[in-house]
Structure 1
Amino acid sequence: MRSLDPHASPTGGRIETPKHGFSSSLSPDDFKALFRGHPAGVAVITADAGDGPVALTATSVASVSAEPPLLIFSISALSSASDVLSRAETVVVHLLDAHDIELAKLGATGGTDRFAQTHRWSRLVTGEPVYRDVRAWVRCTVIDRMDAGTSTVIAAHALQSHIERDVHPGGPGDALIYHNRTWHRLGEHSRIEG
């Protein structure tokens, strides 16, 4: 009689399944190749859990809900900012456009003091570090964290925001996009229809 065990192999032995019970998984290189062709908006996230400010560039920021106003982002455990972001109660998410390319590069460069240029940033009255003159920023309280592979997904509730350069409905703005390992600017030239 044939076994109905989904883990049984045709030869009668058991097939080993990876952690979480998945029978197969994409390789890291295949997964990275998928997302190289998937453009993402660029943000810089800052926080201070009491040990001094940290900043990192992220392309994982996404809005989740407008009511209540929630967003999520992920941070790699390899990031120098991951320890502070795992403890911070609040964060500031800076949503960048092409005019903010230098800040995006700064947050993406390891081994550099991202707060050395004191004229570029200040602290909000609530204490969080915030960069000046960026397209927009939003101060959030962290409401949940979830370990996911080698990253942590952070869910945050928006408390306060500032828009320096607004994007008009239907207009292209000057969005900063990261695509295939390079920075891009969206503009009128990139519009397909609308």
Structure 2
Amino acid sequence: MDTGLPLHHRLAALALTFGTGESWRAEPPKRAGTGKRPPLDSLGPMHWSPPAAPGWEALTLDGQPWQSSALVGKNHLLIFYLGSACTHCMEQVSAFAKAAADFEKAGIHLTAVTTETMSLAGRLAEQMSDKKMPPFPVLCDPSLEAFRAFRAYDDFEQEPLHAAVLVDASGRLRWLDVSWEPFTDTKFLLTESRRLLRIKKTE
């Protein structure tokens, strides 16, 4: 207690009344040891490290099984969209299609993942302004396993969500945006991706 406080003066007066003297406070107990301390390794790494991205599977437009291991060693951006019937989804796909060359120049490979089946996803070009398929692979995930793996799924509404996910060449998750509305700010994401990928991960 601060000995200059009015409360201390009142307590000191009471202490004199009871004959304990002005120094009425007891000495703090002295500890004989520091207790049982857990090993430092059990408390986690000293430095933060990006979490590992989950493994996932999908289907190509021709129905062939595809695994995320195909992207190992590559910086890549995953674009999760609901389908070509979703107007907002098409805005997202179109935005990244226009920026695809800039991402590739930065060493970032783009891959789109849709909830649609192969027959529907293959008609994506019909909804594109140039009537062409986007300049990056389109994968099908009608089971929504990949969407769930990256939390692009609303468990309450039981509906898939839009997402944009940046994974580095080591398979570490560097950036994630999941929302009911698609992410279309490609200029920001390209700049942010370059910045994040320059940061070395720590083990």
Q: Same fold (TM over 0.5)?
A: no
TM-score after normalising by structure 1: 0.24
More strand by proportion, 1 or 2?
Answer: 1
Structure with greater Cα Rg: 2
Q: Please identify which structure carries the higher helix content.
A: 2
